[in-house]
Every structure is written in structure tokens, then in C-alpha cells.
Amino acid sequence: MRSIRPSFTARRGGSARRGPVRAAAAVALVSALTLTATACETGDEAAGGEASASAVAGDDKIKIPDDIKQRLKEHGIDIDKWRNGAWKNWNKDDWLREAEDFVNPIIEDLWDPDRMRDAEDPDKGVDENDISGDQGVTDPEPEPVDAQAVSTPYHESVPVAGKVFFDSPEGTMVCSATVVKDPAHPGKSNMVWTAGHCVHAGKKGGWYRNIAFVPSYNDSGLSAAELENATKEQVAPYGVWWGDWVQTSDQWIEQGGATGGDGASYDFAVIHVTPEEGGSGKSLEETVGSALPVDFNAPAVPKIDSLTATGYPAAPPFDGQSMHQCEDKPGRLSLNASDPTMYRIGCTMTGGSSGGGWVAEGSDGKPALVSNTSIGPITGGWLAGPRLGEVAEGVFNEVSEKYAAAQ
């Protein structure tokens, strides 16, 4: 039986200049709605299921506080109806989209091995594939770099990487993500970095639902066939961590689009997580044994010799069940002269890799997260990600500061 407990949050987006972003027909956003070649991936349908109104601990029920129930109801969410499947109602008028409207009640055992495995690509995309509309500084298109399988167990190779699962009107979705350091809690971070479009649909939609992070998904690299009989411990060896606070940029909420690269320069998000079942009391960073610093003053493209992108690509020829990486010297991609220029690398990773971290030598000479996968062409071959700066730092700091007083 699935039980539900609330993780209600009210959040703000980062603030900064909000200039228009010109759509480039060449680029297919790694979008949860369009599901392009580098998109977040979806299953055939969003699975629901009944759940009890409260979790059970021994003979005692954990009651949902009345103030939390009231706050949910203020957003039109009845907790009893929600756990019985009301979260699958994507009526546009009721779809929460504003910065302060995020809610993500935890539904225990919703993300079981079958549901996680079935979050795959429906093979949809865009028709055009040139970037002739680019403005500003854009380097020549890079040569494709073949994505390499990460050696198992993943927790030894790339312990900070994992998958983000969530539900959208299109069905059960998946992205990639990275555990990042929290300056307010050294060594004990509960913060995850991913793409904005992995948590919010952008200008034509709202917040996605049932957002959860699984570090080192399929840690031992089981095949798709082997995963059909895998236990939850094999699929999620470090547990399922639900987002109790999610923040993306105001620019993504206001400009983000399913195709063309709208809002891509601001396509990043931070998720603060909590363990689904309470856990051992350890933080996410303590649980996985590592976290990456985020560099908001990373070197410009000409000064970066090598950049490594990590993700779980799911569109063919990949199946979404294994972790891959691409390493390349980045170039520049400008979709609009008024917006920050993006990093671009050659990479054959496909859908499902979006949101995955890009690591380079930071301004202090040590490895740091400097970007995340955002967009790429429908035919594959390269990926682009935002260069993190003032707006990204504002988003990050607000999440960190919100939980600074927490133990």
C-alpha cells in the first residue's frame, strides 16, 4: 500500500534581467513536453494508485498537521483526493505554475522499480535541424563525441550522479542530476542540481509532480532484462529522495519553451531533498559519500580545456538504464545576443541525459559543476548547457539559505 505525507513548499525564483529569448529552429529543447532527442523521457502513461492518508509507524499513524492540510487546500489540493490519484489532473486552470506555488506531497512507494524503469522515450521531436538564427558568439558545430559507459558500481565512479523522476501531463518522466555541496551544511548537503525544465514546464505550464531523486540509479549496471526482476535496493541502493523544496529561475518560468531553445540560458534548477522513508538521519551527501561544489564564476570557453557531461541517456541507441559520459573541449553557442552564451560540446547522449551535471576545473583549479545539459538537435551529436552566473547563484543561495538553520 502506498502512503502519503506532505512536503509542502512555497518558493521563489531567482531574480535578474528578463529580456526576451529568440527561438532558434535549429535547437530542440531537452524538454519534458516535447521529448526531443536530448529530452527528458516519458513512459506511456502516468501510473497512479491509491494511498492511505497517512504513513504508518507501528500501530500509530503519522497525522498530517492541520496547517499543512490547509496550505495544500489553499492551492486547491485535497490531500485525500491527491493520494487517490488527483495529482494526475492536469487541468490548465489548476496547474500550479507560479514561483511560490510548488507543492510535492510524498507518496511512499510510488517510485517502485517498474515505474522507474518504464520512464522512457516516446521518440518524439522537432522537424528542423539548423541554427542559422543564432546571434552573438557561436563557434562551429563540434564533432560528435561518442558517449562512454561509466564503469560500475556507479557509486564508486560518479557517486554524485543520479536520476530525477517526476510526472507530467505526458506521463512518467526522467532526467539526470547531481548532488552538490551546500555551504550552509558542509559535508551534509541535501541539495541536487538539475535542469529547470526537469521541474517546471516553462511559460505554457507549471510545476511537475512527484519529483524525486535516485542517486546511483541501477548502481551495478543491470541490463533492461535483468531490471525487470530487480529489487528496489538494486535499483535505488541509496534510497529515493523527494523534493521538499524546488527552485528554478524566473526566466525559465516566464520564457521556457518546449522547442527552439527559449529560456535555455537560464535552464537550471536546485532541488532540496528529504528521504522517502525517513532514512538513517544522514544527509544525502553523507549517504552517497560525496558532493560537487558549484562554480558560478567558471572560466570562459577558451580557458576550459576539458569538460565532462554525465547522464542517463534513454532515447535510442540507449535504453535509459545505464550511466554514460562525454568529454570534450567546449565551444560557444549563442541563441540570443542579449542572453548569456551557452557551453556546447560534442556528445551522442540522447533523451534522459538532460539535467545531468557538466564538470570542469573550476576557478580554484578543482573539479566543480559548471553547467547542466539543456538542449541539443533532434539528430543528436552535441549538447549545450547554460553558463552559470549571477542568476544561477541567486537560485542556489535562496535554497541554501532557506535550510541554513536546519539541523
Alpha carbon distances (Å) from 230 to 47, 48, 120, 240: 19, 21, 17, 15
Determine the residue type at 158: V
Predicted pLDDT of residue 351: 80
pLDDT averaged over consecutive 10-residue blocks of the chain (407 residues)?
38 36 32 33 41 28 58 79 88 85 88 89 35 64 96 98 94 95 97 96 93 98 94 96 95 86 93 88 96 92 92 90 97 89 94 93 87 87 94 96 84
Distance linking the first and last C-alpha atoms of the chain: 31
Residue 190 included in any domain: yes
CA distance 374 to 193: 12
Predicted pLDDT of residue 30: 35
Predicted pLDDT of residue 148: 98
Tell which residue, 401, 28, 44, 51, has the closest CA to residue 210.
51
Range of the domain at 376: 2-402
Residue 187 included in any domain: yes
Angle subtended at Cα 219 by Cα 216 and Cα 223, rounded to the nearest 5 degrees:
125
Predicted pLDDT of residue 46: 36
Which residues have C-beta within 8 Å of that of residue 205, sequence separation ≥ 6? Answer: 33, 95, 97, 169
Give me the sign of the Cα torsion angle 246, 273, 223, 158.
positive
Predicted pLDDT of residue 20: 31
Give the CATH number of the domain where residue 377 resides.
Answer: 2.40.10.120
Read off the pTM.
0.85
Predicted pLDDT of residue 64: 58
Number of domain units in the chain: 1
Within 10 Å of residue 151's Cβ, how many Cβ atoms? Answer: 11
Residue 407 included in any domain: no
Residue 270 included in any domain: yes
